[in-house]
Structures are given as C-alpha cells and as structure tokens.
Amino acid sequence: GIQVEQSPPDLILQEGANSTLRCNFSDSVNNLQWFHQNPWGQLINLFYIPSGTKQNGRLSATTVATERYSLLYISSSQTTDSGVYFCAGTGSGGSYIPTFGRGTSLIVHP
Amino acid sequence: NAGVTQTPKFRILKIGQSMTLQCTQDMNHNYMYWYRQDPGMGLKLIYYSVGAGITDKGEVPNGYNVSRSTTEDFPLRLELAAPSQTSVYFCASSLSGMDGRYTFGSGTRLTVV
C-alpha cells in the first residue's frame, strides 16, 4: 500500500496565527480525507478532497493528487483548533482501504 | 441520523476475559472498519468489511474476531484479553470504496488489567 507522511509532527501556535499542514503520499492518491481528533478523542471528518480546493470557514484544503500531496490551511487559529490532524488516502492500485498518516499534533495557546 | 454508534464507551477487563465491542451505523454504508489507537499513535486497521457476510484482516488482526451478518452491525470480539490490547477502539464506515468518506464512531476506551 501507499505510504503517508505528515508534517510537521508537532505545531504550537498563538491564537490568531495561520498554519499549513502537509500530507505527502508515496504514490498517486484517491479518496483523500482530513480529520481532526479533538482533545476528547473524537474524530471528525474535515474534508473529503480527492482533488482541488475546498473551504469550510477558517479551514481550507488543497489536494494535488498527481503530485501526491495535500495541504490543510488553518487561518486565525483558535484554541478549539487544538488536537491532532490526520490525513488518509487510498492508492491507485485497487485497494479501497485508506492508509492514515501519523498525524500533526497542534496546540493553540490563548 | 445517529451515524456510527459504538458501545460501550469505557470498559475494564481482566486478563483472559472476553468481550464484544458493538458498532452500528444507520447510513446504509457498505464498508465498515475497526481501528485501534494506542496513546500518541495513529490508527491501525484491525479488520474491515465491504458488505454483509464479507470480512477481511487489516494490519493488526491477531487476538480479534469480527462478523458482519447485517449491513448495519459490525461487532468486534476480543477473546482472552491481554494487556497489549489496552487501547482506544474506533469503528468507522464509508458508503463504498469509490466514495470513501469516513464517518467515525466516538470510540471505546478499553483497559486490560
């Protein structure tokens, strides 16, 4: 299966700052998704973004599947953005089972 | 819609005991998955199912069993619990392989002592 690398592994921000999280894949990727795991452990699907750009409030995501990467932008960060951000995707080899990255841990200080 | 419902939310088992983690979805999703997440780590796939009557192993299936008798339910069975199975377990579902949008349950925190 494909390999997924997320960067940075850890990120500490002051409230109001902007940030970019990156997800690199070892092969062309399908079904790319971004998730947020809040400090209580709940996993929320932020974006389903096989290609292109989507925006939802202060968050936006861009996927360039042929270049094997995706970016998650967080603008004007808030303390409620804290948690771990995971990306996941499926390879082009026929398996529909997503591979998850190890996550980016984000802490936003007030 | 309730989405993906997992029960129980918390459980403490003694070594050697058995239990079943329940997972139910009401979105008529074909694909269902079980993951475990160890502290500070990512998600590891235990088992998955692409439809009723069909199950397959993931990355870490040892010590677990699953069944999928209906589209809605995908229980995970732990036989002879071991401390290494202390983890948080997540169930997820997606409509299909082509539309792989995941919905996760709220998780079950299991401690084996």
Give the tens place of pLDDT for each residue, B68-109.
Answer: 999 999 999 999 999 999 999 999 999 877 677 889 999 999
Determine the average pLDDT of the residues in B57-66: 96
- Tell me which residue in B48, B58, B101 faces A45 most closely, judged by beta carbons: B101
What is the rounded end-to-end Cα distance, in angstroms, of chain A? 40
Q: Under DSSP, is residue A79 helix (H, G, I), strand (E, B) or coil?
A: helix
Q: Which fold has domain A4-109?
A: Immunoglobulin-like (2.60.40)
What pLDDT is recorded for position A94? 65
The torsion angles phi and psi of B12, rounded to 5 degrees, stand at: -115, 125
The phi, psi pair for B14, rounded to 5°, reads: -90, 150
Q: Return the pLDDT at B18.
A: 96
Chain A residues whose beta carbon lies within 8 Å of the beta carbon of residue B90:
43
For residue A28, the model assigns a pLDDT of: 84
Q: How far apart are CA B40 and CA B99, in angstroms?
A: 29
pLDDT by residue for chain A (110 residues), tens only, comes to 789 999 999 999 999 999 999 999 998 888 899 999 999 999 999 999 989 999 999 999 999 988 999 999 999 999 999 999 999 988 776 677 888 999 999 999 99
Among A3, A31, A32, A43, most B C-beta atoms within 10 A, so best to mutate, is A43
Cβ–Cβ under 8 Å, residues B47 and B90: no
> Which class for A5: exposed (0-12), middle (13-18), buried (19 or more C-beta within 10 A)?
middle
CB < 8 Å to A44, chain B: 104
pLDDT > 80? residue B113: yes
Residue B20 has pLDDT above 90, yes or no: yes
Q: What is the CA radius of gyration of chain B?
A: 13
Please give the mean pLDDT across all residues of chain B: 94
Question: Which pLDDT does position B101 carry in this prediction?
Answer: 85
Residue in A closest to B103 by C-alpha: A45
Most B CBs within 10 A among A97, A102, A104, hence the mutation to make, goes to A97
Whole-angstrom distance, CA of residue A74 vs CA of residue A16: 10
pLDDT confidence of residue B1? 66
Structural domain boundaries in chain A: 4-109
Instruction: Mark yes or no for CB contact B100/A30 under 8 Å.
Output: yes
Q: DSSP assignment of A9-78, as one string? A: SEEEEETT--EEEEEEESS-EEEEEEEEE-TT--EEEEEE-SSEEEEETTEEEEEEGGGTEEEEEE-S--
pLDDT tens digits, B22-37: 999 999 999 999 999 9
DSSP summary character for residue B85: G
How many residue contacts between A and B have a Cβ separation below 8 Å? 50
d(CA A32, CA A63): 8
Q: What Rg, from alpha-carbon coordinates, does chain A have?
A: 13
Could you tell me the maximum CA-CA distance found in chain A, to the nearest angstrom? 45
| Domains defined for chain B, CATH in brackets | 4-101 (2.60.40.10)
Closest partner residue to B42 (CB to CB) among A48, A90, A100 is: A100
The residues of B whose Cβ lies within 8 A of any Cβ of A are 31, 33, 41-43, 45, 48, 50, 58, 88, 90, 96-104, 106-107, 109
